[in-house]
Structure 1
C-alpha cells in the first residue's frame, strides 16, 4: 500500500499598525516565513504582492491591517490582507472581475493591483459584515501563487 504524505502546511498571521512601515514589516515577515520553509521560488512574487496589498490598506483605510501567509497542501502559498475599508477594488470583486487598466507612464500610482493580475495565479476578496452595524468590519483581499511541484 502506497501512502502519499501531504505537503508541509503552515500559517503565519500578523497585525500591522496603520503606518508607512507596515509594508516593510509585511515583506520581512513573508521573507522569513518563506525562506524558513524552503519556498524561495515564490519569494519575489509573494513579497511584491503582499507589499502592494498592505500599502493599499495603509493608503485607503484609517486603521490597522492584518497579514496572513498560508502554505496550502497542494503547494500554493496564499496571502490574505485584511483592512478596515469595506470597498472591494477591481480585480478582487465578484465575477466577472473587472480588469485594472494599465497605469500611464506619468501616473504616480495605480500599478499595485495590476501586478496582482500579472503575478498571482488566483485572487479574490470579500467584504466582512453585511449589515449597517458591520460597517467597520472592512474587507479581506487574497492571492495565491505557486502550486504543482513547487
Structure 2
C-alpha cells in the first residue's frame, strides 16, 4: 500500500474586492486553509492579524486587495496583503526602531498594527514603484509570519 504525505509547503492566493465583507472572507479563507493543512496552532493569531491588514486595506484605499497564504515548512506561515496605497505604516518599516505608537485607552481604533507587532514572529513591508502605465505608487505589500518560534524583532526575508 502506498501512503501519500501532503507537503508542508503550499500557497494560496485570493483577490479581494473593495468591499466591507473582505475581512470576513479573508478570515474564513485563513481558517479553512490552515484547518485543512493541520496548522491548528496558528489559526487564531493568523486569522486575527490577517483580518487587521485586510480591514486596513479596505479603510485606507479605494481599490481591491490581495491575500496570499504561504506555508514555509516547519509550522511557519507567511501571510501577505497587497493594497493600492504605497504608504508603509509602522511597524512594517525599518524594524525594530519603527514601532506602533501607543493608542489612548478611549480610542475607537488604531490597535490592529500593534497586534501584528506583538503577536507576529516577524513582519515587513515593501512599497511598489510605478505601475506598468507609469502611474506613481502601485501600492504595497505588508506581510507577517506566525508559527515556528518567536523572534525578538522583525527580520528581512524575501517574499
Alignment TM-score, normalising by the size of structure 1:
0.89
Distance 1:75 1:82, change over 3 A: same
Q: Which residue of 1 aligns with 2:157?
A: none
Q: Which residue of 2 aligns with 1:120?
A: 120
Alpha-carbon contact 2:50-2:79 (below 8 Å) kept: yes
Q: Which residue of 2 aligns with 1:129?
A: 129
Extract structure 1 runs of 4+ deviating beyond 6 A.
none
Gaps of 5+ in 1: none
Q: Which residue of 1 aligns with 2:145?
A: 144
In the TM superposition, residue 102 of structure 1 has moved relative to its aligned partner by: 2.1
- CA distance in 2 between counterparts of 1:64 and 1:115 reads 23
- CA distance in 1 between counterparts of 2:109 and 2:134 reads 33
1:70 lines up with 2:70 in the alignment:
yes
Which range is displaced more, 131-140 or 75-84?
131-140
Q: Which residue of 2 aligns with 1:98?
A: 98
1:1-150 mapped onto 2 (5 Å cutoff) = 8-129=8-129, 133-147=134-148
Residues 72-130 of structure 1: CA deviation (Å, up to 9, x unaligned): 02321000000000000011013454110221111111000000001000000010125
Higher helix proportion (structure 1 or 2): 1
RMSD: 2.0
Aligned residues: 144
Residues 125-150 of structure 1: CA deviation (Å, up to 9, x unaligned): 010125892424100000000015xx
Alignment TM-score, normalising by the size of structure 2:
0.84
